[in-house]
């Protein structure tokens, strides 16, 4: 197993075009099942989670091939109705195949999905949504069997779940009748999913707001989509500049998708400028960040739970105490163990992490235990004094494409061996 060697304390300088968003391409890949014609996906990130989705598509009978950074999916030959347990466990987003699979085949058999260990991650909202759309859902001995042609219906989500909203959209597009989703998630990735489905001939409106409506009964054709820039990778990069100092321009991301993160970094003393398709951030490495206040994670447009860990790593060396209140997942402070190894002063009470800024962190041997927690340890290591050896790269590779290349391009000393 390789590890990352990171030499900290080097300011980051330069420009980087951010990769396509993992959380956008995964539902798009599941949505490819809804058409019998080829779909070309450009700006597709090379990630192990994308490989896992491609594995599932192959298993179901679709063909997938890379043309440079474009992934071409042709699901004409899809004929399988069940997904292996191993494939389901490879990532959380494997559950996203359930809705389009039952819509396409009239039957889908899956097991519970895997993914980052962030506490219990139920799928009840996914299953209730599919049931509302007219599918018969049975659960027995860890297996989920979903049967019948979806008719459409009105789904009321008690909580705006991202994945359940996407699954409901994908199933609703394949349904015979119309679907309304009330209290839908409003993330930019949902807006992109709507754009993608409409480009294939679907009739979906309302994404980005709380009510999404879908006219069912349309046969989808092939098409092209360019995956939107990854706002969480962008947030990680900006947090790294806030931690190590320097001046970086991140291209390929819409600043409005990052506004809560940018506001916090600006309050902390970073200079931020936003363009149409880019964000520029500068931090004077001799002036520490200003901490203070309480950051509470929330569904979009609130502060993203996925940015909590990398941003916390930057505030570990801020002046003052910053509180991070996690409301989305019950075990999302896994990175705190590694940050403490590096000298951070953080205590956890219930769902809040109290980060008392220390003058500096030092290098250490630390292990990533989940994807964004891994991003946080890399951010901390880039700002720390001395060498960090970062383990658990299999988590990082799920969502950060060639992390060492990205930071290396900006002058960081980060080597995978
Ligand atoms: C997605 C993102 C993930 C992000 C999260 C919240 C993808 C691939 N992943 O995950 O990176 O951290 O949104 O922004 O897009 N819940 C239930 N029942 C369900 C579904 C969810 O109780 O059926 C709960 C979850 O346990 C969690 C909360 O709802 O507490 C939010 O989950 P959800 O929005 O569904 O997140 P994911 O789609 O899993």
Q: Kindly report, residue by residue over 77-118, the tens digit of the pLDDT.
A: 999 999 999 999 988 899 999 999 999 999 999 998 876 666
Q: How many alpha carbons fall within 13 Å on the CB side of residue 287? A: 9
183 and 325: one domain? no
Among residues 20, 70, 4, 77, the alpha carbon closest in space to that of 251 is found at: 20
83 and 165: one domain? yes
Q: What is the pLDDT of residue 115?
A: 63
**Ligand 1 site, residue 164, Cβ cutoff 6 A:** yes
Catalytic one of 44, 116, 135, 171: 116
Which of 186, 211, 226 lies at the terminal end of a domain, its last residue?
226
Q: What is the pLDDT of residue 202?
A: 98
pLDDT exceeds 90 at position 121: no
pLDDT exceeds 90 at position 161: yes
**Per-residue pLDDT tens over the stretch 16-25:** 999 999 999 9
Q: What is the pLDDT of residue 330?
A: 85
d(C-alpha 208, C-alpha 212), whole Å: 8
**Ligand 1 site, residue 163, Cβ cutoff 6 A:** yes
Of 163, 187, 375, best ligand 1 pocket probe by most atoms within 8 Å of the beta carbon = 163
**Ligand 1 site, residue 161, Cβ cutoff 6 A:** yes
Do 2 and 382 form a contact (C-beta atoms < 8 A)? no
Domain that includes residue 181, residue range: 22-226
332 and 366: one domain? yes
**Per-residue pLDDT tens over the stretch 379-403:** 999 999 999 999 999 999 999 999 9
116 part of the active site: yes
φ, ψ (nearest 5 deg) of residue 336: -65, -35
**Per-residue pLDDT tens over the stretch 178-232:** 999 999 999 999 999 999 999 999 999 999 999 999 999 999 999 999 999 999 9
**Per-residue pLDDT tens over the stretch 341-385:** 999 999 999 899 999 999 999 999 999 999 999 999 999 999 999
Q: Tell me the three state secondary structure of residue 55.
A: helix
pLDDT exceeds 70 at position 306: yes
246 and 214: one domain? no
- What's the chain's average pLDDT? 96
pLDDT exceeds 90 at position 64: yes
Residue count (the chain)? 417
Do β-strands 271-274 and 294-296 pair in parallel, antiparallel, or remain unpaired? unpaired
Q: What is the pLDDT of residue 116?
A: 61
CA 198 / ligand 1 centre spacing (Å): 24
Do 326 and 256 form a contact (C-beta atoms < 8 A)? no
Query: Which atom of ligand 1 is least distant from the CA of 372?
Result: 11
221 and 240: one domain? no
205 and 263: one domain? no
Which of 177, 198, 226 lies at the terminal end of a domain, its last residue?
226
237 and 354: one domain? yes
pLDDT exceeds 80 at position 246: yes
Q: What is the pLDDT of residue 43?
A: 97
**Ligand 1 site, residue 23, Cβ cutoff 6 A:** yes
**CATH number for the domain including 397?**
3.65.10.10
- Residue ranges of the alpha helices (H) in 245-277? 259-267
d(C-alpha 130, C-alpha 137), whole Å: 8
Percent over 70 (pLDDT), the chain = 99
Q: What is the pLDDT of residue 222?
A: 97
147 and 278: one domain? no
Total domain count for the chain?
2
151 and 71: one domain? yes
**Per-residue pLDDT tens over the stretch 138-150:** 988 889 999 999 9
313 and 384: one domain? yes
162 and 290: one domain? no
């Amino acid at each position: 197993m390789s590890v990352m060697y990171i030499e900290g304390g080097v300011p980051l300088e330069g420009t980087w075009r951010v990769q396509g968003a993992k959380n956008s391409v995964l539902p798009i890949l599941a949505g490819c099942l809804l058409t019998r014609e080829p779909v070309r996906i450009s700006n597709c990130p090379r990630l192990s989670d994308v490989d896992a989705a491609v594995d599932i598509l192959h298993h179901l009978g679709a063909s997938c091939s890379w043309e440079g950074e474009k992934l071409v999916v042709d699901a004409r030959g899809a004929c399988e109705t069940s997904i292996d347990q191993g494939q389901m466990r490879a990532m959380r987003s494997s559950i996203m195949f359930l809705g389009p699979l039952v819509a396409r085949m009239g039957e889908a058999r899956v097991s519970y999905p895997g993914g980052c260990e962030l506490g219990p991650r139920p799928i009840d909202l996914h299953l209730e949504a599919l049931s509302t759309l007219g599918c018969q859902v049975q659960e027995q001995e860890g297996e989920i069997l979903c049967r019948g042609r979806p008719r459409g219906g009105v789904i009321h989500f008690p909580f705006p779940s991202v994945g359940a909203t996407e699954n409901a959209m994908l199933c609703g597009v394949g349904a015979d009748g119309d679907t309304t989703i009330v209290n839908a998630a409003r993330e930019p990735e949902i807006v992109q999913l709507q754009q993608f489905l409409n480009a294939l001939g679907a009739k979906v409106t309302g994404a980005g707001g709380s009510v999404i409506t879908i006219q069912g009964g349309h046969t989808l054709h092939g098409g092209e989509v360019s995956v939107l820039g990854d706002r969480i990778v962008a947030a990680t990069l900006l947090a790294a500049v806030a931690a190590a100092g320097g001046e970086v321009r991140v291209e390929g991301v819409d600043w409005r998708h990052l506004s809560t993160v940018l506001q916090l970094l600006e309050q902390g003393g970073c200079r931020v400028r936003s363009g149409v398709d880019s964000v520029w951030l500068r931090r004077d490495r001799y002036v520490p960040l200003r901490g203070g206040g309480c950051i509470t994670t929330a569904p979009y447009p609130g502060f993203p739970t996925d940015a909590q860990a990398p941003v916390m790593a930057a505030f570990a060396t801020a002046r003052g105490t910053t509180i991070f209140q996690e409301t989305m997942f019950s075990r999302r402070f896994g990175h705190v163990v590694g940050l403490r190894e590096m000298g951070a002063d953080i205590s956890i009470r219930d769902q809040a992490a109290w980060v008392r800024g220390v003058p500096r962190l030092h290098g250490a041997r630390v292990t990533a235990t989940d994807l964004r927690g891994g991003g946080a340890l890399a951010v901390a290591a880039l700002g720390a004094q001395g060498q960090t050896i970062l383990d658990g790269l299999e988590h990082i590779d799920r969502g950060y494409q060639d992390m060492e290349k990205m930071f290396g391009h900006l002058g960081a000393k980060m080597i995978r061996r």
